[in-house]
């Protein structure tokens, strides 16, 4: 799955003097306030952090409230889906006009009728709604299916993704992984072929998504030395 990356960041957290006896708690609290929000500076939604202090000495700010700045080194897991990336998520709702998917348990995605390729037909079988593939009998999409789809757009405020099932290499992950030849054949054009070969390599790794070490191999690792100021308010 694309869209995930691990970044190194150098941060400064300004801690209120009342928290001088519990600095770690204050820092963790401040970093936790970043979670599940899109940060422009970090260029992504912070999903997890691993933090360590760079120095035992902290500079005290001059002013009415003497906040002191603790320097930190953090590894941040960031999520930033961009157009034409492939993502995977679980289908939670299915209708004739749309498929609703949840990615990584927190981000919602929608694929509207117009973005579902002709191959899939909406049916209601035994009370259950399902999208059946007309060309491949076993390729089904229903509630609970893990779906691979292409990103069209990403709303950074609500963390809502608009997706597409038009390309041949999108659909139910289970079927796609078992039947690689089928959908590879479908992409005849040279450009698409190249891309597919790359993707094939990625699927070979076969590791869970959240493994940071894998990501550092596959994805961009931008060593961001961003300095960020935050104020830790007295709670």
Partner 1 sequence: MGVELATENAGFSEMEDVIFSDTELVCHVRNALRSATMGHYDGYNQLVGVLHHTEYLTPDEVALLVTSLKALSGAVSCIDSGHHESLLSAIFGMSMWNYGPDVMDALVELIVKLAASSGQYTDSCLDMLVSNFTPPRSFVEFLKKPRRKGQVLYHVHSALQGIANLLPLAPLRLEDAIVHKMPNVYSKEPLIVLYVENMLRLESSAMGAVVGGMMLKAVVDMAIELDVKIEWEDILQDDPKGIFEMELEDEETVDNTQQEGDELRIRESSRGKSFWGSEIAEKLDSLLVLMFEHLKKCNDAGRLIEVFEPLLQSFQTTVMMVYKLKFSQFVMFYACSLDPENCGMRFTNTLADIFMHRASPPNRRMSAVAYLASYLSRAKFLSLSFVAEILKRLVGWCLKYCETWDGDINPTAHKVFYSGCQAIMYVLCFRMRSLMDIPCLKSLLLHMPIEAIFNHPLNPLKVCLPSIVEEFLRQAKAARLFTTVSEQTFLFNNNMVESELSRAFGGSEKLDMFFPFDPCLLKNSDGFIRPNFVYWSMARTSYDDDEEGCSNEDVEDFGGSGENIAAWSSEEHDHHFDDDELDKMSITPKNSFLNSYMFGGDLCGSALRMPSRIRPSSSPESSWCTN
CA gap 189, 172 in Å, rounded? 22
CB of 52 to partner 1, least distance (A): 27
124 vs 217, beta carbon nearer partner 1: 124
CA 90 to chain centre: 13
Interface with partner 1 (CB under 8 A):
21, 36, 92-93, 95-98, 100, 102, 105-108, 110, 112-114, 122, 124, 129, 155, 157-160, 162, 235
Q: Minimum CB separation from partner 1 for residue 51, in Å?
A: 23
CB of 164 to partner 1, least distance (A): 13
Instruction: Between 27 and 101, name the residue whose CB sits nearer to partner 1.
Output: 101
Other C-beta atoms lying within 10 Å of the C-beta of residue 226: 14
Q: What is the CA radius of gyration of the chain?
A: 22
Length of the chain: 235
E strands along the chain, which residues? 4-15, 38-39, 44-53, 59-60, 68-79, 86-94, 98-103, 107-112, 120-125, 128-133, 140-142, 146-155, 160-164, 171-172, 229-231
Q: Which is nearer to partner 1, 66 or 95 (CB)?
A: 95
Tell me which residue of 101, 103, 76 sits closest to 1, measured CA to CA: 103
Tell the smallest beta-carbon distance from residue 68 to partner 1 (Å).
17
Nearer CB in complex with partner 1: 48/54: 48
Phi-psi region of 202 (alpha: psi -120 to 50; beta: other; left: phi over 0): alpha
Q: In whole angstroms, how close is the CB of 177 to partner 1 at the nearest point?
A: 26
Report the residue number, 164 or 196, with the smaller CB distance to partner 1: 164
């Amino acid at each position: 799955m694309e869209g995930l990356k691990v970044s190194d960041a150098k941060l400064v957290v300004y801690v209120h003097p009342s928290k001088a006896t519990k600095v770690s708690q204050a820092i963790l609290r401040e970093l936790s306030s970043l979670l599940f929000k899109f940060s422009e500076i970090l260029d992504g939604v912070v999903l997890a952090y691993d933090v360590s202090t760079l120095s035992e000495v902290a500079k005290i700010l001059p002013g009415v409230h003497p906040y002191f700045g603790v320097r930190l080194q953090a590894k941040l897991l960031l999520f930033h889906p961009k157009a034409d990336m492939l993502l995977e998520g679980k289908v939670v709702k299915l209708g004739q006009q749309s498929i609703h998917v949840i990615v990584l348990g927190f981000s919602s995605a929608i694929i509207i009728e117009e973005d579902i390729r002709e191959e899939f037909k909406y049916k209601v079988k035994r009370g259950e709604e399902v999208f059946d593939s007309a060309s491949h009998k076993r390729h089904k999409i229903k509630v609970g299916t893990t779906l691979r789809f292409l990103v069209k757009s990403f709303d950074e405020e609500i963390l809502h993704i608009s997706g597409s099932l038009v390309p041949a290499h999108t659909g139910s992950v289970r079927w796609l992984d078992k039947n690689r030849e089928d959908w590879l054949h479908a992409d005849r054009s040279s450009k698409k072929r190249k891309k597919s070969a790359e993707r094939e390599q990625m699927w070979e790794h076969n590791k869970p998504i959240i493994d940071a070490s894998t990501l550092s191999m596959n994805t961009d690792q931008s060593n961001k030395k961003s300095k960020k100021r935050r104020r830790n308010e007295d709670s």
